Amino acid sequence: MGGLASRMKFTFVTFTVGVAAIIGLPFLAGFFSKDAILYLAYANNRAAFAVLAFTAVLTAVYMLRLWIITFFGAPRSEAAAHAHEGGFTLGAPLAVLAALAIVGGYIGIYPNAFAGVFSLVREAQGSAYLVILFTSLGILLAGGGLAFALYRPAELDPLQVKFPALFGGLVTLQQSFDRIYGYYIEKIQQRVAMLLNFIEVIGLAGLVVRGAAGLVGMAGLGARALHVGRLSAYLYWFLAGVVILWLFAAGVF
């Protein structure tokens, strides 16, 4: 992509709000949710807290990387050079999500119906509050500083230029996941889907549904064949019914 900030201004603004929220910029929704998760880990498992703090730094790096290489610099493709907004149907959801990213962390704006859910969210108190606050700000500064240090608007991905071995390894890793997923879709999921389709079409729809319908239809034809319109025939059926009833009453069956 590249250079989309001037071509898709509305998308750029809403995307920027989303990035700011997800990297934990203070007063946005992501800041409050990240602090709640970090505090829960800090209070229960310090190792998990350290891992989550590290992954939050990575989140800030890759989200800012995405933001920089997508919206700044020169377009890197013909499609990016002619990019434009997607209209109301795409812009309206972006506006709603951006608005929620701004105000979503303020509990007071929600109806009382959500009070039970929010009461489960633990808030840091005392010294723990300071630990979480400084950790959160440190994550933001570390991740943001690293992203801006590594990335500049350029024709190629700066990571590819500065660390080609690392970039190549990441690309290989990404492609390996794609190949594994493609193999799973083609060799496993698709074949299971074909088997289930066969069972549904032949077994359920064919034998059960159509078979049951056929039996009912045959029973209907047989029943209609008994109505011949002659009193003598009905008398025989009446006598046969009396014999069956007598045998049943006698305990024969």
Tens digits of per-residue pLDDT, 183-239? Answer: 888 888 888 888 888 888 777 776 667 777 777 777 777 677 667 677 777 777 788
Residue 41 included in any domain: yes
Q: CA–CA separation, 180 vs 173, rounded Å?
A: 11
213 and 110 together in one domain = no
140 and 172 together in one domain = no
On the question of pLDDT at 153 being above 70, the answer is: no
Number of helices (H), then strands (E), in the chain: 12, 0
192 and 208 together in one domain = yes
Residue 3 included in any domain: no
150 and 218 together in one domain = no
30 and 135 together in one domain = yes
62 and 133 together in one domain = yes
Mean pLDDT of 104-112: 82
29 and 110 together in one domain = yes
**Of the candidates 160, 175, 190, which is a domain's last residue?**
160
CA end-to-end distance (rounded Å), the chain? 83
> Cβ contacts of residue 9 below 8 Å, gap of 6+?
85
* Domain count across the chain: 2
Domain extent at residue 211: 163-228
Q: CA–CA separation, 28 vs 106, rounded Å?
A: 9
78 and 94 together in one domain = yes
Prediction pTM value: 0.59
**Model pLDDT, residue 154:** 60
